[in-house]
Homo-oligomer: A and B are copies of this chain.
Amino acid sequence: MTVANILHMSTGDGESSYAKNSLLQETVICKTLPILKHTILKLCDANVISGQHFKIADLGCSSSKNTLLVASNIIDIVYEVCTKNNGKPPQFEVFLNDLFGNDFNNIFKMLPGFYAKFRKEKSANPGLCFVYAVPGSFHGRLFPDKSLHFVHSSYSVHWLSQVPEGIENNGLNIFMARTSPHNVFEAYGNQFHADFTKFLQMRSEEIVCGGCMVLTLIGRRTRDPTRDDSGCIWELLAHSLLDMLKEGLVRESDINSFNIPNYFPCEDEVVKIIQNEGSFSLDNLDVFDVNWDPMDTDYENMKDSNEPRHNHGKNTANLITAVSESLLISHFGSSILEMLFMKYEKHVTTHLAKTKTRFYNVVISLSKK
């Protein structure tokens, strides 16, 4: 399976779209803003932004209002610096990247509003801002040599370029489940190692000296993947597929041949790969948790209310639908989707009633040596 030609977040702006089910990703971006700000300020101080241009890339930008959130924040930070120093702000070039099937049309609908806001807010000191789309895989080259000043990526680098090879014996698991054979963990780890190394190599050719990256990805808490619950979100999807197998709605061979191209590394793995690849200095590494359903703000008990927004199982299932639908349809066809996600919602709801499982996030700030 070539992930680059299949994977995309659910398109459009309907109920099951990524655009309507990306609060988690928004919450994560907001939590990383202090690191983003710190990195951009460092870039401004170091005079890396040559001449009048500041070229930013957001890799795996997807398609929702989050997509322009990062760019807005970066522009605000730079304007703040320029205003304080009585300097002229640079001309911003924002390159939004995602795979070929991403719903860029949906992003473009938001651009007139984005530009109008930019012109209005920055009228005191008008600069220029240009937004472009760059379809393609960040496991390959996306930009010319030494052309970027800053790269951002949130919730994308844990996607692999392909399902690891040699894991046919993963059976009815669809990810690194706690019951997976040892070679499955090894194959997933190796694939991430190869992919993240390639990611760093590609970016090291594209980013100018002193240029920076802020990357956020889902990680796992423990070194030993068999003792971690990071893959639980996919294990519950496997349980839902098993239910359908029992009911004769899905074939065993189809589940056997399906695996999710995701890997959640521990911090050590991330740090080692960066050191081995050698092009970037690791300036900062931070970790934080987010509840599966970011509307579950801990101080609200889901049992207290029947309001739809408090249905954390449903919210989480919607999030995972928007993220994995394209992969599932490409493998199983679209007919099973509705039933599958009904079952999934039940499994997630039951799970969350027992355990408050959270995504463990790793955010790193890197600079090009």
Contacts and interface: CB of A to CB of B under 8 A. Distances in A.
A196 interface: no
A210 to B, nearest CB: 19
Interface stretch (A130-138, A254-262, A308-316): A130-138
Contact of A130 (B11, B128, B134): B134
B93 A144 contact: yes
Contact of A104 (B105, B136, B145): B105
Choose among A5, A100, A109, A135 the residue with the greatest number of B CB atoms under 10 Å from its CB: A135
A91 interface: yes
A53 interface: yes
A111 B100 contact: yes
Contact of A134 (B52, B112, B132): B132
A133 B141 CA distance: 16
A118 interface: no
Interface string A96-107: 000011111100
Interface string A37-64: 0000000000000001100000000000
A142 interface: yes
B144 A53 contact: yes
Contacts of A100: 108-109, 111-112
Interface string A142-181: 1111010000000000000000000000000000000000
A359 interface: no
A133 B136 CA distance: 12
A369 B10 CA distance: 48
Given A52-B145, A53-B144, A133 B104 contact: yes
Contacts of A109: 100-101
A95 interface: yes
A23 to B, nearest CB: 24
A250 to B, nearest CB: 29
A10 to B, nearest CB: 13
Nearest to A11: B105
- Identify the interface centre among A52, A108, A111, A147: most chain B CB within 10 Å of its CB: A108
| Most chain B CB neighbours (cut-off 10 Å) among A91, A112, A141 | A112
Contact of A52 (B91, B108, B115, B144): B144
Interface in A300-348: none
Contacts of A5: 112
Contact of A108 (B95, B104, B111, B115): B104
A95 B132 CA distance: 8
A315 to B, nearest CB: 27
A368 to B, nearest CB: 18
A91 B130 contact: no
A102 B128 CA distance: 23
A330 B115 CA distance: 22
Nearest to A97: B132
Which 10 pairs from chain A and chain B are nearest by CB? A133-B133, A108-B135, A91-B144, A132-B132, A105-B105, A100-B108, A104-B104, A132-B134, A53-B144, A111-B135
7 contacts: A53-B144, A95-B132, A100-B109, A100-B112, A102-B108, A111-B135, A130-B143
Given A100-B112, A104-B104, A132-B132, 19 more contacts: A4-B112, A5-B112, A52-B144, A53-B144, A91-B144, A93-B144, A100-B109, A101-B108, A101-B109, A103-B105, A104-B108, A104-B133, A108-B135, A111-B135, A115-B136, A130-B134, A130-B142, A130-B143, A132-B133
